[in-house]
Amino acid sequence: MPIKVHDKTFDIYLSEAEIQQRVKEIAETINKEYQGKRPLIIAILNGSFMFAADLFKHLTIDTEISFIKLASYKGMKSTGNVVTSIGLDAELYGKDVIIIEDIVDTGKTLYNFLPKLKDHHPASLKIAALLHKPEATKFPLTLDYVGFSIPDKFVIGYGLDYDGRGRNLKEIYQVV
């Protein structure tokens, strides 16, 4: 069933079960790769809050989580300006940091933000993105964990919004 949000129509693209299965798989990989370590998860708000929470629940290793807020989007278009509105208060020095992003589109947000994180000298730095739009990505980024590679079409649901709406959907929907 298509749904309407603001002026756009969206069709279901990824089911709740598909998302949950993939999130669990990523968590299991992290559990293996970080055995004996204590990674610091940094979730980028707002979009990644559901992914971060579900992923975090499946982590069985010793771990910590912290949240920061960055934004470069307004409506369906990137404004190109990355704004940090909630700062980085966790101590990163010597930590194994894993960044959690909802989606990497142009890659600009993370590309601009990574040097700021590296200034804090974490022991290691990896990126987990639930969604990646490879055709749209223009900034060189290495994504260590990717949930789904998707076409360059706007999506909502599972934390992702269209002008504030659609975040509460359990599935991911693609614009028609």
- Window 45-84: residues binding ligand IMP (CB under 6 A): 47, 72-73, 78
Q: What string marks each residue from 107 to 136 as x (binds ligand IMP by CB under 6 A) or -?
A: xxx---------------------------
Binding to ligand IMP, residues 5-34 (CB under 6 A): none
Q: Are 173 and 166 within 8 A, CB to CB?
A: yes
Q: How many CB atoms lie within 10 A of CB 41?
A: 21
Q: Nearest to residue 149, comparing CAs of 136, 162, 168, 163?
A: 136
Of these residues, 96, 105, 144, 163, which one is catalytic? 105
User: Quick one: which of 19, 92, 101, 113 contacts ligand IMP (CB under 6 A)?
Assistant: 101
105 is catalytic: yes
- Within 10 angstroms of residue 68's Cβ, the number of other Cβ atoms is 19
155 binds ligand IMP (CB under 6 A): yes
Angle between helices 49-57 and 16-33 (to 10 degrees): 60
Minimum gap (Å) between residue 108 Cβ and ligand IMP: 4
The maximal CA–CA distance of the chain, rounded, in angstroms, is 49
Catalytic residue IDs: 105
- Site residues (vs ligand IMP, CB under 6 A): 47, 72-73, 78, 101-109, 154-156, 160
